[in-house]
Amino acid sequence: MKQINKIGVFTSGGDSPGMNACVRAVVRTAQKHDVEVVGIKEGYKGMVAGYFEKLTSFDVAGIIQRGGTILRSSRCPEFKTKEGRQQAYDNCKNQGIDALVAIGGNGTFTGALYFEEEFGIPTIGCPGTIDNDLFGTDYTIGFDTACNTVVKAIDQIRETAASHNRLFLVEVMGRDSGFIALNGCVAGGGEAVMLPEQHDDLPRLMQFLDEKSQHKIYSNIVVVAEGDEAGGAIQLEKVIKKEYPQYDVRSTILGHLQRGGSPTCRDRILASTLGYHAVEALLKGKRNMMAGEINNKVVLTSFRDSIEKTKALNTDLLQLSEILVA
């Protein structure tokens, strides 16, 4: 096993609260082992363009509480080309980087998988995405903070919804997955939820609206995942307005405010734990894997599984979301 003297760390894809806590853990753990750390700015884009910066324990002081990512992030089309990855490898080599920690989601790990296969730089990933859609970890870094943001928003919307007897559609993030929507709905006491994973939620919503309307209950909250096949809150609003003129409908799209904010305690601890374990794993010769947490235990899952296998929604929570509606 080749000795690791310098680790490159980067954040990539959509930022998520807790990424900074993870970077801090990577830098400080590496330093305890006398391993240098280089921060790669703007994810794969910076790797291709050569945006590198040495990071010491002092450089990551005072960042654990900050949302976003001090390393900045991007989605990088150049890295999808062989030439782009070659350039990235040459830059890493010139910097003396002999291992990587990649903090991000699905796209980040897909890039890491190709990169490792082509150039052999050992890489360990930390799951950083608010979507929670990665196989191999119960929770991703940033998901808890995003859910708390959603719950706070629903609480506030409920006050105005009730005052005006209105039906509110609250659209939350989740292009392909309904984790934020389901958790936000249960914790926010939402009356219905629309999820990309379910294909019968529109007729069920219709039935629900029929029943409520018979009892003259018009103020309800429906949480809509952006990737739901109904097409998001705005599309759904049009359908409801047409079919149910008795409802006074409004939509709120929470959008990118779900991505920001100071990470919760849970996200800081998860990020710190996984950042630490990512470095420990590299130093033990592990590579091409994501560090996650399952049932409170740190587990390594191959990048391929973390990308290709689907993490199922919690069916108990799904059931609860239906049982607890008045």
Q: Rounded to an integer, what distance in angstroms lies between the CA atom of residue 208 and that of residue 214?
A: 10
Q: Does 131 bind ligand F6P (CB under 6 A)?
A: yes
- Map residue 41 onto helix, strand or coil: coil
Q: Which is nearer to ligand F6P, 32 or 175 (CB)?
A: 175
H helices present in 226-264, as ranges? 232-243
Binder of ligand F6P out of 108, 110, 129, 264 (CB under 6 A) = 129
Q: Does 237 bind ligand F6P (CB under 6 A)?
A: no
Q: Where are the beta strands (DSSP E) in the chain?
A: 6-11, 36-40, 52-55, 99-104, 123-127, 167-172, 192-194, 220-225, 249-253, 289-294, 297-302
Q: Does 105 bind ligand F6P (CB under 6 A)?
A: yes
Which range in 55-63, 83-91, 123-131, 283-291 contacts ligand F6P by CB under 6 A? 123-131
Q: Does 130 bind ligand F6P (CB under 6 A)?
A: yes
Q: Which is nearer to ligand F6P, 123 or 129 (CB)?
A: 129
Q: Does 259 bind ligand F6P (CB under 6 A)?
A: yes
Shortest Å distance, C-beta 54 to ligand F6P: 29
Shortest Å distance, C-beta 257 to ligand F6P: 11
Contact between 109 and 290 under an 8 Å Cβ cutoff? The reply is: yes
Q: Rounded to an integer, what distance in angstroms lies between the CA atom of residue 208 and that of residue 231?
A: 19
Q: Does 147 bind ligand F6P (CB under 6 A)?
A: no
DSSP letters of 147-195? HHHHHHHHHHHHHHHHHHT-EEEEEE--SS--HHHHHHHHHHT-SEEE-
Positions marked catalytic: 131
Contact between 180 and 173 under an 8 Å Cβ cutoff? The reply is: yes
Shortest Å distance, C-beta 145 to ligand F6P: 12
Which range in 90-98, 117-125, 168-176, 305-313 contacts ligand F6P by CB under 6 A? 168-176
Contact between 143 and 258 under an 8 Å Cβ cutoff? The reply is: no
Q: Does 174 bind ligand F6P (CB under 6 A)?
A: yes
Q: Does 14 bind ligand F6P (CB under 6 A)?
A: yes
Shortest Å distance, C-beta 171 to ligand F6P: 11
DSSP 40: E
Q: Does 212 bind ligand F6P (CB under 6 A)?
A: no
How many residues of this chain bind ligand F6P (CB under 6 A)? 10
Binder of ligand F6P out of 19, 99, 113, 173 (CB under 6 A) = 173
DSSP 100: E
Shortest Å distance, C-beta 179 to ligand F6P: 10
Which range in 110-118, 169-177, 202-210, 243-251 contacts ligand F6P by CB under 6 A? 169-177
Q: Is 266 exposed, middle or buried (0-12, 13-18, 19+ CB in 10 A)?
A: middle
Closest CA to 101 of 7, 3, 5: 7
Q: Does 277 bind ligand F6P (CB under 6 A)?
A: no
Binding stretches for ligand F6P (CB under 6 A): 14, 105, 129-131, 173-175, 226, 259
